[in-house]
Amino acid sequence: MSTSPKTAACPCGGAAYAVCCGPYITGAALPPTAETLMRSRYTAFTLRDEAYLRATWHASTRPSEPLFAEEEKVHWLGLEVKSALRLRQRKAKSADQTEEINRDTVEFVARYKVSGRAHRLHEVSRFVREQGEGGLRWFYLDGSFPE
């Protein structure tokens, strides 16, 4: 990301920022799926965009403390979305489709460095879709750590 974030490849690993997570983070569009929201939240973390992270965090689990410590220098290295879990869950979907379409799970591995030390975050995030500003929208609910 040495060039402008507008033209560089998207931090989430997708195409250019302007046609990947950019429209969601600027508010020009709503992420249509839990996965696109998850990707845009990862990108927002790399940009330290606290406002976007709060806006997409479900009110019931949104932290009250600041998300970014001033002294904490996190260097995000990349994101890998694992679809296997979602596909399994999709196949096992219950008959209650209306409930199911407003809930989703995304498993991912994010790599980052703090003070030169590499870390790996493996998370299964839960998302819910609710009526919000601008219509039906996805929110991050919480996450669990499979390892």
Question: Is 20 or 106 the residue whose CB approaches Zn ion more closely?
Answer: 20
3-state SS assignment for residue 68: coil
Instruction: Number of helices (H) and strands (E) in the chain: give both, helices first.
Output: 5, 4
Coil vs helix vs strand at 20:
coil
Q: Of 12 and 37, which CB lies nearer to Zn ion in the complex structure?
A: 12
53 counts as binding Zn ion under rule CB under 5 A: no
Beta bridge partners, 131, equal 136
Compare residues 14 and 132 and give the one whose CB is closer to Zn ion.
Answer: 14
3-state secondary structure of 1: coil
- Tokens encoding 100: 């199911």
**Taking Cα atoms as reference points, which of 66, 74, 69, 61 lies closest to residue 144?**
61
> Phi then psi for 34, rounded to 5 degrees?
-60, -35
Selected range binding Zn ion among 3-11, 46-54, 62-70, 76-84, rule: CB under 5 A:
3-11
21 touches Zn ion (CB under 5 A): yes
Residue 2 Cβ, how far from Zn ion at the closest point, in Å? Answer: 17
Site for Zn ion in 107-146 (CB under 5 A): none
Among 5, 10, 76, 143, binds Zn ion (CB under 5 A): 10
Kindly state the smallest distance separating residue 100's Cβ from Zn ion, in Å.
Answer: 26
Binding site for Zn ion (CB under 5 A): 10, 12, 14, 20-21, 39, 43
